[in-house]
Structure 1
């Protein structure tokens, strides 16, 4: 397995953001992590990439502890705000990526992707649109040739057409490279056509984890199943009147 968690949990003071999370992600899978705002999605992803320590339980990425694996460059991570440096040009970002990942950086693939996306090398990131910044951040992550790519709500600020283009690009690039992807979102419809697996998270708990092909036969059916799980989770958290 490319990623495994066992009874993983995270508490912030008295509030549990994640409870008893057990998952297994195989190589090459594209996993949609779905849930409402506050479900624990970002907490789970930050535990996976070693930005947070777990309160209890365990997480192994590529067979090792997250912090160690992240230093190896084998995991790409694009945070929720698609981080780029406003004062640096597109070319500066590529040079920075190459410098930080000297043993894994694919300069040819990076340059080719930037050219295909039509991003001007001399343009500062602060002058790019939200979709262009997201694509630049994704290019940096993909050009590390990661075995696992973690994307935290990367399309949240994009319009529907830009979201679809971004997701299509991500799925195509990951499939071509054999990269596993974990992609979080609260928009079920955006994931149905690109993901191979779905994980539903609500109230800090895993409500559903399944291969989509085994779960349903259409995007509409997937959306119904996910919404049923989220509705049930919300009802369980609501006190009886």
Structure 2
């Protein structure tokens, strides 16, 4: 990818808090355009990574480049190209929605108030209501409208509750964190799986699904380190199911190859231990 095709690049990024490391050796190159999911359980380091990306935190080690610029040295012009919506979608509760929009216009270089007003009108959210009197879902939509009205090139969302479907149509690169995986394939183009503070899987979703498959056959003590291809092995009394990444490994006699769904793929990587490269057999009932 050329620099103009890259939304985010991190190189060896780690973040340490007083109690320990929240993120370790995170190296990513994420494409511009489309919707990117950052997936992992609570405590995986997702929020820390997002706050590093938008410049709210500085890395303990490594570098973060957004839209070709080092975030820690970014100018107001560069930061204006990044929109961020925190998980608690903070608003000034005593402000009316209209006052929130005027505040947003005063604080941002290229704020499109008309865009925000049209979006809120479509959702039936009145401008004269105080933010604190809105429902939780309406508050989330107001916060999202404010973020979109910045006309960002990169929109970063921490555990969004609003629908992501219309966002890809706005031509903005969307990076959002989630611990829910069942709708990712419908919404997203690119995937990053984060667990134990480390990136365990990243790539274009269609490519990742094509690279992985399930091999089902008689229960076996198959070498789990064979070419490093086995992601997970699940054994029942009579059968073994291997999730492998190397699609070039032929299925042995008596074995069947099957495609893997995105949810099963993500969950398999999340079940892996914190030590990179290790695979753990799982015992399940027959």
TM-score (norm 2): 0.73
Partner in structure 2 of residue 221 of structure 1? 261
Quickly say closer, same or farther: Cα 1:19–1:121, change in 2 above 3 A: same
Aligned-partner Cα distance in 2 for 1:133–1:67:
30
Q: Cα RMSD between the aligned structures? A: 2.0
Aligned-partner Cα distance in 2 for 1:100–1:68:
20
Quickly say closer, same or farther: Cα 1:70–1:200, change in 2 above 3 A: farther
Quickly say closer, same or farther: Cα 1:216–1:45, change in 2 above 3 A: same
Query: Are 1:178 and 2:171 an aligned pair?
Result: yes
Aligned-partner Cα distance in 1 for 2:182–2:75:
31
Q: How does 1:19-168 map to 2 (within 5 A)?
A: 19-69=24-74, 71-72=76-77, 73-101=80-108, 103-155=109-161, 166-167=162-163
Bigger radius of gyration among the two: 2
- Structure 2: which 5+ residue stretches go unaligned? 1-5, 211-259, 281-286
Quickly say closer, same or farther: Cα 1:16–1:196, change in 2 above 3 A: same
Q: Which has the higher helix share?
A: 1
Higher mean Cα deviation, 12-21 or 77-86?
12-21
- Greater RCO between the two (CA within 8 Å, min separation 6)? 1
Task: Check whether the contact 1:78–1:138 (CA below 8 A) recurs between aligned residues.
Answer: yes
Q: Which of 193, 214, 220 is the matching residue for 1:200?
A: 193
Aligned-partner Cα distance in 2 for 1:108–1:51:
28
Q: Which has the higher strand share?
A: 2
Aligned-partner Cα distance in 2 for 1:75–1:131:
23
Partner in structure 1 of residue 222 of structure 2? none
TM-score (norm 1): 0.86
